[in-house]
């Protein structure tokens, strides 16, 4: 019984701590930093990032498919209190899909700093 308990104590943390963003095996390219506006998604993607000065849009998900949007990966300090919040800041994102013109790129957010909430 003690041996089983010892094995469980060692094994459970190994399964509980899965790679979140930067070390996630689903990431397809190098992570990069952007200054962007984050807002709540209206469709199947829960959070969108709009890099300032571009027409590009990034979808925050938990992997490379829309099914992964159920559990998006982002830091706890990126919190929306209302669907009317826009959050501006500096984001380090890691891509789950390659960048392709005219297509939404799926990413996870490793870090979010210098956040400013603007209600509209």
Does 84 map to a domain? yes
Whole-number pLDDT of residue 43: 76
Whole-number pLDDT of residue 1: 46
pLDDT at 7 over 50: no
Note down the domain range covering 76.
21-119
pLDDT at 5 over 60: no
Does 12 map to a domain? no
Does 54 map to a domain? yes
Does 13 map to a domain? no
CA–CA separation, 117 vs 107, rounded Å? 21
pLDDT tens across 77-112, in order? 999 999 999 999 999 999 999 999 999 999 999 999
H helices present in the chain, as ranges: 2-16
pLDDT tens across 56-72, in order? 999 999 999 999 999 99
CB of 106 within 8 A of CB of 93? Answer: no
Does 8 map to a domain? no
- Give the predicted TM-score (pTM) of the model: 0.82
């Amino acid at each position: 019984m003690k041996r089983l308990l010892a094995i469980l104590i060692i094994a459970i943390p190994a399964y509980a701590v899965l790679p979140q963003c930067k070390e996630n095996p689903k990431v397809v390219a190098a992570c990069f930093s952007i200054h962007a506006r984050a807002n709540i998604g209206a469709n199947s993607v829960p959070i969108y990032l709009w890099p300032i000065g571009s027409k590009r849009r990034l979808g925050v998900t938990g992997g490379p498919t829309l099914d992964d949007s159920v559990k998006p990966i982002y830091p706890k300090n990126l919190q929306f209190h209302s669907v009317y919040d826009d959050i501006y800041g500096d984001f380090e994102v890691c891509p789950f899909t390659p960048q392709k013109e005219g297509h939404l790129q799926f990413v996870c957010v490793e870090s979010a700093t210098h956040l400013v909430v603007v209600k509209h």
